[in-house]
Every structure is written in structure tokens, then in C-alpha cells.
Amino acid sequence: MDQNIRTTAGPTHEEMVSLRRRTWPWWIDLWIQLVKTKPLATLGLIILTFFMITGIFSTLIAPEGVNEAHTERLERIEGMMIVSSGTMVIPGPSIVPFHPFGLDNVGRDVLSRIIHGARVSVIVAVGAVALGVGLGTLVGILSAWLGGAADTAIQRIVDAWLTFPTLIVLIVVVTLLGHSPPPGFDRLGLDTDQWAMFKIILSLGVVNIAWYARIIRSAALVIKEQQYVDAARALGATGFRIMGRHITPNVMAPAITLATLGMGGAILSEATLSFLGYGIPPPNASWGGMLSTTGQLFIYQAPWLAFFPGVAVTLVVLGINLLGDGLRDLLDPRLRGQT
């Protein structure tokens, strides 16, 4: 007899098989569902994975060092002084020797610098999102749980915080944090370059807390009214236990979506800040900075200097947004269109 013919009220064989598969933990099942049902989000997942691996292993992957220069390949032209330093011909993209994205104005391989720049983007994105979503979740859950006057006060601060234009606040905060690290920063084993990265992570994280807190709060408010929370309270659970054991796991779904979309935003913001000169200082490689320092001066002679770093930013942010959209559709359709 064919196994798929429904003979009784119970599930068919195939349904049993699929039910058994469903016994994955939800956070693994999520990715399986994503790959099965969302081709665009899967593409985004692939881009994100590729970007993460590139960033983490950049020193192994990059064909050349971040400041390794082929000065001999730069050709100087006497008497052709453009603006400040355009006195040379910069070799463009070539396969042999292997410089597919060309060289920059001091003879460094652009591809290698983009790969090294990916590390900056990975660190900033992960750091800022971890900080922002972490604190945002904390504030959001607390606000929802406490309710009443405390909730109102927190939400008014969030309101005020949200009236500031994000990028402008970032510029002000980064400027106030200063170029040189505070005393004692070197005791962490970090130097001035890492301070530049640290202050961007700090300001990006802190500036976005308000957004995260607001969305997590609305999710937590729904969960707070669930019967299992009442049940836990009836059993004598403390507020902290309920927040930690019952509410936090249940706001993980919007938190994951926010974290994914937030990473794209963080990468864009870091690139924009570096472009404006508030970010990672040269000679370190950063995608925005590559467009700013070298890209702008030599852009008309060597358009590839500005082109490829921008492509990298766009592709990665596009991938992350696609993934974020897919995750949101699966996890929390209510958020659709809000980000």
C-alpha cells in the first residue's frame, strides 16, 4: 500500500518524517527554513559568511600586506602637477602582475587593501551590534517589565535620543572622544589605532541603543502579558528570574533580526565616518577611508581607487539586508517595512 495515502486520522509517513526533523532547536531550524524558503536571504547569508571569513582571516587571504607598496610601478610625470600630488601615472587593474583592482597612489594593491579593510568592517560591525543590541535588549526588557513611571521616563529619554540625527550625533561623539586614547587605555594592550576603532564601536553602539530598546520593549510588552509569565509569577519566581528565563529567550527573535540589520547599518556608518575623516586613520585600510584619502585626490586619473571599495561596501550591506529581510519574515512579520 502506498505510504502516502491517508488511511487513518493520524499523520502520514512523510509527515512523521518531517515532524521528526522539526525536533531541531529553533535556532538551527531557523537557518534550515531560511535556506529552504528564502533564496535571496540565502544569497545574503552566503555573502555575509564570505565577508566574515575574509575579515577574520584577512592577513592570510590578502595577497599583499596592508602597506606593501610597488613604488617602482608608479610612473612620475614631470611638470604635470595636479592639485597637490597628481604627478604620476598609477597602474590600473591588471591580471599579470596580479592587481585585479589596480594600485593606489603609493603603489599598494587595492584588492589587498580591500581585504584588510574587511577586518575593520567586521570588527566594527560585530562590536557595535553586540554592544548596541545587548544594552538595547537590557533597557527594553527592563522598561517593559518595570512599566509605569520608570517606563515612561525611559521612553521619554529614548524619544529625545531619537530626535538627534544619527550620523550627526556620531560625528559629535567621535570628535568628543578625541584622537588620543584616555590614560590607561594602553593598559588594555591596545594602541592609538585600536582606539580609533574602539571609539567608533562605542559611539555606534551607544547611539543605536535607543532604536533597539524601543523595538525590544514592544516585543517584551507582548510577552509580559502571556499566561506563562503569570504562571511563573504565581509559582513565586522573582522579577529577575522571569526577565532572564522567560522574557529574554522570547525576545531573541526580534533581537536577531535587529542585530543582522544593525550590522549593515554599522558597516555603512563606519564607511561614512571614515570617508568624512572621523574614522580609521591612514595608513590603515578601511573601506570608507580608501575612498576619502587616496580616492578623492586621484579619482579622475585612477577611478578604480574609488570604485572598488564602494562596491565592497554595497555588496556586503546588500547581502546583510537581504538576510535581515528574510530573517524578519520568518521570525517577526510584524516588523515588516519598519527598517
Question: Quick one: which of 223, 228, 215 has its CA closest to 256?
Answer: 215
Question: Quick one: which of 160, 165, 171 has its CA closest to 203?
Answer: 171
- Per CB under 8 A, 79 contacts other proteins: no
CB-count exposure of residue 227 (10 Å: 0-12, 13-18, 19+)? exposed
- Per CB under 8 A, 282 contacts other proteins: yes
Kindly indicate which of the ranges 22-30, 112-120, 127-135, 316-324 contains the residues binding other proteins, using the contact rule CB under 8 A.
316-324
Residue 112 three-state SS = helix
Total residues binding other proteins (CB under 8 A): 78
Count the Cβ atoms, other than its own, within 10 Å of residue 177: 18
Candidates 63, 178, 239, 244; binder of other proteins (CB under 8 A) is: 178
In the complex, minimum distance from the CB of residue 128 to other proteins, in angstroms, rounded to a whole number: 16
CB-count exposure of residue 307 (10 Å: 0-12, 13-18, 19+)? middle
Candidates 255, 291, 330, 331; binder of other proteins (CB under 8 A) is: 291
Candidates 180, 190, 245, 249; binder of other proteins (CB under 8 A) is: 180
Residue 89 three-state SS = strand
Q: Which is nearer to other proteins, 15 or 68 (CB)?
A: 68
Please give the residues from 193 up to 252 whose contact with other proteins meets the rule CB under 8 A: 193
- Per CB under 8 A, 166 contacts other proteins: yes
- Per CB under 8 A, 276 contacts other proteins: yes
In the complex, minimum distance from the CB of residue 159 to other proteins, in angstroms, rounded to a whole number: 6
* Strand partners of residue 76: 88
In the complex, minimum distance from the CB of residue 15 to other proteins, in angstroms, rounded to a whole number: 29
Residue 88 three-state SS = strand
- Per CB under 8 A, 106 contacts other proteins: yes
- Per CB under 8 A, 294 contacts other proteins: yes
Candidates 6, 20, 76, 187; binder of other proteins (CB under 8 A) is: 76
The contact mask relative to other proteins for 84-103 (x = CB under 8 A, - = no) is xx-xx---------------
- Per CB under 8 A, 296 contacts other proteins: yes
- Per CB under 8 A, 332 contacts other proteins: no
- Per CB under 8 A, 288 contacts other proteins: yes
β-bridge pairing 75-76 and 88-89: antiparallel
- Per CB under 8 A, 43 contacts other proteins: no
Burial 204-215 (b: 16+ CB within 10 A, else e): bbbbbbbbbbbb
- Per CB under 8 A, 286 contacts other proteins: no
CA dihedral angle for residue 59, residue 61, residue 67, residue 68, rounded to 10 degrees? 120
* Strand partners of residue 103: 109
Candidates 51, 145, 161, 212; binder of other proteins (CB under 8 A) is: 161
C-alpha cell at 33: 527554513
CA-derived radius of gyration, the chain? 25
* Strand partners of residue 109: 103
- Per CB under 8 A, 179 contacts other proteins: yes
- Per CB under 8 A, 330 contacts other proteins: no
